[in-house]
Amino acid sequence: MKAGKLSGVLRRRTILTAGVAIGALPIASPFILPARGETPVKLGWVDPLTGILSALAQSEVEGARYAVAEVNGKGGILGRPVELLVEDSANDVGTGVQKTRKLIDRDQVDAIFGDVNSGIAYAMSQVTNEKKVFHIVPGGHTDPITGADCKWNVFRICNTTSMDAAAITPELVKTFGKKWFFITPDYAYGHTLQDAFVKNLKKAGGSYDGDMLPINTSDFSATLIKAKGYGPNVLLNNMGGLAQINCMKQFTQFGLGKDMGLGGALFEIESIKGVPKDAQTGWWVMEWWWNQPGVPHVADFVAAFRKGAGKTPSARHWFGYAGIHSVRLAAERAKSLAGPKLAAAMEDLELPPDVALQPGKVRYRAGDHELMSNVFVGQVHPPKGDADDVFATAALVPGEAAAGPVAETGCKMSHPA
């Protein structure tokens, strides 16, 4: 659908359905306008739509827009149309906090989502908790958000860094060995991820070296020379978004693939498709994967999303999709959009199969508000036939097994009176 035609549709205040070509929608404007004079349910979304994490953020927003269209096509939330208000955090903590306050104080949203950047997500949670606004973190991974600094109003869809590290470490040790080199971003996500990896590696009797670098690093030459000198069995590239892509390109240019393996936690489809074939390798985790033969609803969802969005859904798309439907499900259970009531309704809420889109029981654990979804462990490879067939799942690690008990997370949940 062309932009001019879409604007006309919006002016006519027509409820959009899941068939809309969501990739053409304006990112920074409401997705749906109220119809027939009904007061909309306003959902605020804060993500770094510009900067090195923008591809991941835009996928989350696309998934959310797709879900909003789907929800509105079926009557909205509590019989009211849904309006998605999206703001750009620009990968900056201060901006993310400012945009969060704007959405709450001026736009009076009923719930908040964000941020891909774990540091921003954590800062946002201070605001939403103060304001008693329901908050879902779709894709910010640092452990304290649902660990030592957990909050009654905050829930998370993506895994903790500890979950990802626990799921993939045994395979990295078995496939490559116990001598590792880390390239890790120097912010909240990177710190907790490397700490979790080191904890698991030490249990296996391994050793390591590495560098922590700014999140927006573009030149990795000095660190890659250091890695070659150390002679690891495997290099773990923990960077994200464009920084991870640049690191992989330079890894290939240096010819390090013949000296060491590649692996780590996240190597997402948005990034895999941006690196040379020589770097499309190694053992990693996916927090959701589109190719799940025989799992109910998955093939239908993928086909419909491809038709509506013009692309294959990634884990980030699923984060956005599941987030919107989670608010719908919690509101239906609570019969309310009040923050405390939504939070109470979300505890131990199990996602239905057509939202979970994976095997097993996928629920928001009451003790820490972490979604207990599967961790997809497997190998990245160059495309095979389908341009998006770049990952082969070798094992599914249940969320409960990867997360461990609530008592070990440090979360001590306290609810408002």
| Residue 408 in domain | no
In angstroms, the CA 164 to CA 75 distance is 37
Structure tokens at 257: 């693939």
Identify whether residues 384 and 257 lie together within a single domain: yes
In Å, what is the CA distance from 68 to each residue of 6, 118, 345, 388? 16, 24, 20, 25
Structure tokens at 84: 């998605």
- Which of 333, 349, 372 is the last residue before a domain boundary? 372
The predicted-structure confidence for 23-60, as pLDDT tens digits, reads as follows 444 333 344 444 455 799 999 999 999 999 999 999 99
Tell me the pairing of strands 134-137 and 111-113.
parallel
In angstroms, the CA 161 to CA 38 distance is 41
CATH of the domain at 92: 3.40.50.2300
The whole-number pLDDT of residue 384 equals 87
Identify whether residues 25 and 130 lie together within a single domain: yes
| Residue 10 in domain | yes
| Residue 144 in domain | yes
The whole-number pLDDT of residue 320 equals 98
Identify whether residues 32 and 155 lie together within a single domain: yes
Place of tokens 């207990």: 372
pLDDT of 351 > 70? The answer is: yes
Identify whether residues 221 and 167 lie together within a single domain: yes
In angstroms, the CA 47 to CA 272 distance is 21
Which of 15-29, 39-53, 250-264 has the weakest average pLDDT? Answer: 15-29
The whole-number pLDDT of residue 33 equals 46
Identify whether residues 277 and 305 lie together within a single domain: no
Identify whether residues 249 and 389 lie together within a single domain: yes
The whole-number pLDDT of residue 37 equals 55
CB neighbours of residue 199 within 10 Å = 13
Please name the residues in contact with 328: beta carbons below 8 A apart, sequence gap of 6 or more.
71, 77
For residues 169, 175, 179, 183, the Cα torsion angle rounded to the nearest 10 degrees is -60
| Residue 416 in domain | no
Identify whether residues 334 and 246 lie together within a single domain: no
| Residue 360 in domain | yes
- 264 neighbors 238 (Cβ within 8 angstroms): yes
- 64 neighbors 322 (Cβ within 8 angstroms): no
Helix, strand, coil: what percent of the chain each, to 5? 45, 20, 40
Tell me the pairing of strands 261-266 and 234-237.
parallel
| Residue 94 in domain | yes
Identify whether residues 217 and 125 lie together within a single domain: no
Residues across the chain: 417
Identify whether residues 282 and 399 lie together within a single domain: yes
The whole-number pLDDT of residue 178 equals 98
Which residue type does 360 have? G
Place of tokens 């969005």: 309
Identify whether residues 368 and 379 lie together within a single domain: no
Among 263, 257, 236, smallest CA distance to 182 is for 236
Point out which residues pair with 396 in neighbouring strands. Answer: 376
Identify whether residues 204 and 110 lie together within a single domain: no
Long-range contacts of the stretch 72-77 (C-beta < 8 A, 24+)? 72/15, 72/16, 72/17, 72/32, 73/15, 73/16, 73/17, 73/18, 76/38, 76/41, 77/41, 77/327, 77/328, 77/331, 77/332, 77/337
| Total number of domains in the chain | 2
Mean pLDDT value across residues 325-344: 98
Identify whether residues 174 and 209 lie together within a single domain: yes
In Å, what is the CA distance from 280 to each residue of 248, 261, 262, 284? 9, 11, 9, 11
* Average pLDDT score, the chain: 92
- 394 neighbors 378 (Cβ within 8 angstroms): yes
Mean pLDDT value across residues 134-156: 98
| Residue 412 in domain | no
The predicted-structure confidence for 288-329, as pLDDT tens digits, reads as follows 999 999 999 999 999 999 999 999 999 999 999 999 999 999
The predicted-structure confidence for 352-369, as pLDDT tens digits, reads as follows 999 999 999 999 999 999
pTM tops 0.85: yes
Which residue type does 270 have? E
In angstroms, the CA 64 to CA 49 distance is 14
Which residue type does 7 have? S
In angstroms, the CA 308 to CA 19 distance is 5
In angstroms, the CA 169 to CA 370 distance is 21
| Residue 414 in domain | no
Domain that holds residue 334: 3-159+295-372
